[in-house]
């Protein structure tokens, strides 16, 4: 795989350098640092070849992680490993990753790199396993034989992400379906583009070694159930956590897994068909020469009346030469914010199946510029609990464990605005 692993800052300075094979020299690596990173060309190409050496790299928080190799390697696997490396460092650094933390934890980082890579090949990358014998203070030297054996079994076993012997007085599992809806509408109100990207987060507080299984209203799963009236939804671009048993998902479209302990991302997905739009915007702009603009905007919530949206913020753009604004709203608060070049309309709670309106007049200041106003789109930000724009639903959730305990199950939904815009 990788002959060496490097961590570089924006200036191309080497913060961490670990060599695993002798086919790539330090001199060759320095060429990449000066010609690519220091020259600000690293963001253009994730794979760079210099003098027969391949440099596969990613960037995060002004840090460039590089894997160098002189052989023909699986670049997708290396990129996946580099992202896994960032997750591992964040797990040790309290969720952050930057140059200051790297300089403070030189010894820890080298110990981790020695443990997770052997002769350029990845070995153990699970933070919970590594934390059993590598801590912020270094390698644990007072581990008992039983602890060492347990850590090795977990690292090399079928479920390296979950240790044995976990026990809770109260067994609970939380599943959160979080979606971001992206919409672009024309000035006439027709949908030009819409999709929903989602993630399913799980918080597991379950004892021992449980097996969880849940099903969604996936179109392929619903098609196999002839008695179901629900045709289901078409789910694209599914990406699973390593704990999911892919063979069973391919067979019956149910997601079966032994969960890691704590909070983790079970899967991500995207839906592009039959998106349920949470809000409909109806703007009217009337321009009176270069002196005045009158704005009328109606916002209608399209979800059920027993639901509500929170923290709704509507950004209504105005020209940069805006002077005085007279604004009237029925609900919420609206005011002109010069730094945003827009009227910001904020509504703390927006009930379902409701319509609110805003009217305003904008007086423009005379300017010598002849450049026409670009008319950027109206955008809206919001959160709608217990609603999914894709229509995704979890149909069942089962937890099976040898001790037959009955856990408490929680399933929650929330839809947030991604890029939700209406042209004017």
Please tell me the predicted confidence (pLDDT) of residue 157. 59
DSSP letters, 352-366, are TT-EEEEEEEEEEPP
User: Where does 186-261 show beta strands of DSSP type E?
Assistant: 191-205, 211-216, 236-240, 255-257
Question: pLDDT, tens digit, for every residue of 135-160?
Answer: 765 545 555 555 555 555 555 556 77
Higher pLDDT, 231 or 333: 333
Question: pLDDT, tens digit, for every residue of 37-62?
Answer: 877 776 678 899 998 999 999 999 98
321 token code pair? 């030469």
Residue of 381, 372, 395 whose CA lies nearest to 350: 381
What's the per-residue H, E or C state across 385-419? ECCCCCCCCEEEEEEECCCCCCCEEEEEEEEEEEE
How much is the pTM? Answer: 0.77
Residue 196 CB neighbours (<10 A): 24
Please tell me the predicted confidence (pLDDT) of residue 152. 53
Mean pLDDT of 71-79: 91
Please tell me the predicted confidence (pLDDT) of residue 150. 56
Contacts of 12 (CB under 8 A, 6+ apart): 33, 34, 36, 37, 38, 39
Please tell me the predicted confidence (pLDDT) of residue 40. 75
Contacts of 169 (CB under 8 A, 6+ apart): none
Structural domains present in the chain? 4-125 (3.30.450.60), 172-275+387-422 (2.60.40.1170), 279-385 (2.60.40.1170)
Helices (H) and strands (E) in the chain, counts: 8, 25
Question: pLDDT, tens digit, for every residue of 325-360?
Answer: 999 999 999 999 999 999 999 999 999 999 999 999
* Size of the chain in residues: 424
17 token code pair? 């350098």
* pLDDT at residue 5 greater than cutoff 70: yes
Contacts of 329 (CB under 8 A, 6+ apart): 345, 356, 357, 358, 359
Question: pLDDT, tens digit, for every residue of 278-332?
Answer: 999 999 999 988 889 999 999 999 999 999 999 999 999 999 999 999 999 999 9
């Amino acid at each position: 795989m990788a002959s060496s692993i490097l961590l570089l800052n924006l200036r191309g300075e080497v913060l961490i350098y670990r060599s695993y094979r002798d086919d790539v020299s330090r001199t060759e690596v320095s060429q990449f640092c000066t010609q690519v990173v220091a020259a600000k060309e690293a963001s253009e190409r994730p794979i760079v070849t210099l003098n027969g050496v391949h440099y596969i790299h990613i960037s995060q928080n002004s840090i460039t992680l590089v894997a160098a190799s002189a052989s023909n390697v699986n670049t997708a696997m290396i990129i996946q490993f580099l992202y896994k490396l960032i997750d591992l460092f964040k797990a040790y650094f309290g969720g952050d990753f930057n140059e200051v933390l790297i300089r403070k934890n030189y010894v820890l980082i080298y110990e981790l790199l020695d443990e997770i890579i052997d002769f350029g090949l990845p070995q153990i990358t699970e933070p919970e396993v590594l934390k059993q014998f590598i801590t912020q203070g270094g390698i644990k030297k007072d581990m008992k034989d039983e602890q060492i054996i347990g850590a090795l079994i977990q690292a090399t076993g079928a479920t390296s992400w979950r240790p044995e012997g976990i026990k809770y007085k109260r067994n609970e599992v939380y599943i959160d379906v979080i979606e971001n809806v992206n919409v672009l509408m024309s000035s006439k109100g027709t949908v030009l583009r819409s999709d929903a990207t989602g993630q399913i987060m799980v918080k597991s507080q379950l004892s021992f070694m449980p097996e969880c299984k849940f099903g969604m209203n996936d179109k392929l799963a619903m098609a196999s159930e002839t008695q179901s009236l629900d045709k289901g939804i078409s789910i694209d671009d599914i990406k699973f956590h390593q704990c999911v048993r892919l063979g069973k998902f391919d067979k019956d479209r149910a997601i079966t897994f032994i969960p890691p302990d704590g909070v983790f991302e079970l899967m991500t997905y995207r839906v592009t068909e039959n998106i349920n739009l949470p809000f409909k915007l109806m703007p009217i702009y009337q321009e009176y020469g270069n002196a005045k603009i009158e704005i009328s905007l109606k916002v209608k919530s399209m979800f059920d009346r027993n639901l509500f949206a929170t923290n709704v913020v509507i950004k209504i753009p105005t020209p940069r030469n805006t002077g005085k604004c007279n604004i009237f709203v029925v609900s919420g608060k609206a005011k002109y914010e010069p730094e945003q070049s827009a009227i910001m309309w904020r509504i703390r709670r927006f009930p379902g199946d409701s319509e609110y309106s805003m009217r305003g007049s904008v007086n423009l200041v005379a300017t010598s510029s002849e450049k026409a106003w670009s008319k950027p789109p109206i955008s809206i930000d919001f959160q709608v609990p217990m609603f999914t724009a894709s229509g995704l639903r979890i149909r069942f959730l089962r937890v099976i464990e040898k001790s037959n305990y009955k856990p408490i199950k929680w399933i929650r939904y929330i839809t947030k605005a991604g890029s939700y815009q209406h042209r004017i």
